[in-house]
Structure formats: structure tokens, C-alpha cells
Amino acid sequence: EVQLVQSGPEVKKPGESLKISCQGSGPSFTSYWIAWVRQLPGKGLDYMGAIYPGDSSTRYNPSFQGQVTFSVDTSNDIAYMQWGGLKASDTATYFCARGRTIDFYYMDVWGKGTTVTVSS
């Protein structure tokens, strides 16, 4: 069974940097997009963008372009999302999900989420 295991909760101060992770278990990690989805407290799902581990191609939602950076370590089947300088408005839960894009387009496997709290 394919799983995505995300890193634990984080508490940071404004201006600090952060890198969270999403580790895949199971075959073919490099054959699917890994999408990142933000959920602000009490709000809906926001698609941030995705990375294709096979060739490290990235696609960013324009709303998040320049705010976060996606990367991947294919030796260990880990996808990362990082911030260079956090803001209080980055307080949210961040999910990674496997994106399927052959014939049908959807996210079929989700991590449990990483909660990020940014507060002074």
C-alpha cells in the first residue's frame, strides 16, 4: 500500500526558514507528481503546486510562486517544501498528495498533513 508520511508539527517565528517533508513508501515514487495543498485554519483546500520526482519538474500555483520552493530527494523518495522567511499568514496545515495525471487527473494518496504555526 502506497503511503505518504509527512514530517511533524512545527512552531516557528516570523522570518525563520522551514523545510517540511513528505516521504513516499511503496513503488514508483518517481512516476507521479507530488502535489502540495495548504489548508488555513478553518478554511478550504488551496493547491500550491507540484513536483515530478522523475525529473524534478515543478509547477507552482501563481498565488504561491516565489513564496515556497519544492525539491525532491529521489534516493530516499522524499519531497520537500521550504520557506525562506515565514510569515504569520503561513500558519496552516500543509498536505502532500500523489497526483495522477494519466487518463484521469486526481490526487489519490494523501499524507496526514504537517501543521505549521508561525508566531512571535
Partner 1 sequence: QSALTQPRSVSGSPGQSVTISCTGPNSEFGGNNYVSWYQQHPDKAPKLLIFGLTRRPSGVPDRFSGSKSGNAASLTISGLQPEDESDYYCCSYAGNTWVFGGGTKLTVL
- Residues 114/21/119/91 CA torsion (nearest 10 deg): -50
Binding characters for partner 1, 14-43, by CB under 8 A (x = yes): ---------------------x-x------
To the nearest whole angstrom, how small is the minimum distance from the Cβ of residue 77 to partner 1? 19
To the nearest whole angstrom, how small is the minimum distance from the Cβ of residue 114 to partner 1? 11
Q: Are strands 114-118 and 92-102 parallel, antiparallel or unpaired?
A: antiparallel
Contact predicate 22/5, CB 8 Å: yes
In angstroms, the CA 120 to CA 81 distance is 22
Q: Is the CB of 13 or the CB of 112 nearer to partner 1?
A: 112
Cell of 49: 503546486
Q: Is the CB of 2 or the CB of 85 nearer to partner 1?
A: 2
Binding characters for partner 1, 51-80, by CB under 8 A (x = yes): --------x-x-------------------
Report which of 23, 2, 20 is spatially closest to residue 86, judged by C-alpha positions.
20
Contacts with partner 1 by CB under 8 A lie at 35, 37, 44-47, 49-50, 59, 61, 95, 97, 99-101, 103-108, 110-113
